[in-house]
Amino acid sequence: MNIEAYLSVAPEIAEAVKAGKPVVALESTILSHGMPYPENWEFSHRVEEIIRGEGAIPATTAIIGGKLKIGLTSSELELMCKDPTVGKVSRRDVAVYLATGKTGATTVATTMMLAEMAGIKIFATGGIGGVHRGAETTFDISADLQELASTGVAVVCAGAKSLLDIAKTLEYLETMGVPVLGMNTEDFPAFYCRRSGHKVDASIPDAATAARIMKTKWDLGLKGGFVIANPIPEEYELDFDEMEAVITKALEAAKEENIHGKDTTPFLLDHIKNYTKGVSLASNLQLAYNNARTAAKIAIEYSKL
């Protein structure tokens, strides 16, 4: 293997990892495909500020100029937020983007890959991908789930995006041996909603417990990561039944326009934002900030072990 030829880790992050200091990985698809400019630009700086405020170091990832970038400069963050040609890169796309010099935003799966390459064990995102509704006929299943099964990174998220089939997503994770831990919850959250009606594998009371469980699994040589489900703060939660109605409308629109594959989630999120008159975007921001805060706390506890 010759990973070093493609890996570009910011000096601050490389030094922190080497010294065992707390580092939190961040994706860039949420910037390029998850929200509009300038909200994404403001978000990119705010989420890094939150992680630093907790005492950890943020490591936003992307593919730029034939390099796997871990830690972006302000100008690189702006590129990810403003350039409409930035692609959405999952595991299958990485070699293509590196070899051709194209600019790509990292999904959950790709961010996990890059984090593991750089020695980062904790990653904060909005919500994981999963099994799409109707997957029994479309076979539309996010690469995030396979990545969680094989890559040793803990993903702090507000559960799975509510537009997915959450029951099938959890069943898939169970089959692949991925632990699903709930931060102060027994109910798996559904992105905008604190409850989905489905249970987590174990409810944990604090960041220190999460860190101990992570260390124990990896000490045993067990491969794969974790889903650490962190519910959206109550004051920003949206009504479950109302969101189901909105998601149904968005899914119908996607079917009418023949949207499929990796274009599905950005299309649905944009329609959900429009149907909720922007309220869903505000909730999306707050749940992502909350996940960043929690991930930083876990990273700090993990660095002590």
Indicate the burial class of 258 (C-beta count within 10 angstroms; 0-12, 13-18, 19 or more). exposed
Residue 98 has pLDDT above 80, yes or no: yes
Q: Which residues contact 163 (CB under 8 A, 6 or more apart)?
A: 132, 133, 247, 250, 251, 265, 268, 269, 272
Rg (CA), the chain: 18
* Confidence band, pLDDT 50/70/90 cuts, at residue 276: confident
Name which of 51-65, 134-148, 228-242, 269-283 the model is least confident about: 269-283
pLDDT tens-digit series, residues 177-211: 999 999 999 999 999 999 999 999 999 999 999 99
pTM over 0.85: yes
Provide the annotated active-site residues: 27, 161
Q: What would the two tokens of residue 229 be?
A: 């489900």
Name the more confident of 92 and 34. Answer: 92
* Confidence band, pLDDT 50/70/90 cuts, at residue 220: very high
Task: Please identify which residue in the block is written with the tokens 């962190």.
Answer: 230
Alpha-carbon distance of 264 to 64, in angstroms, equals 24
Amino acid at 204: I
Pairing of strands 67-70, 57-64: antiparallel
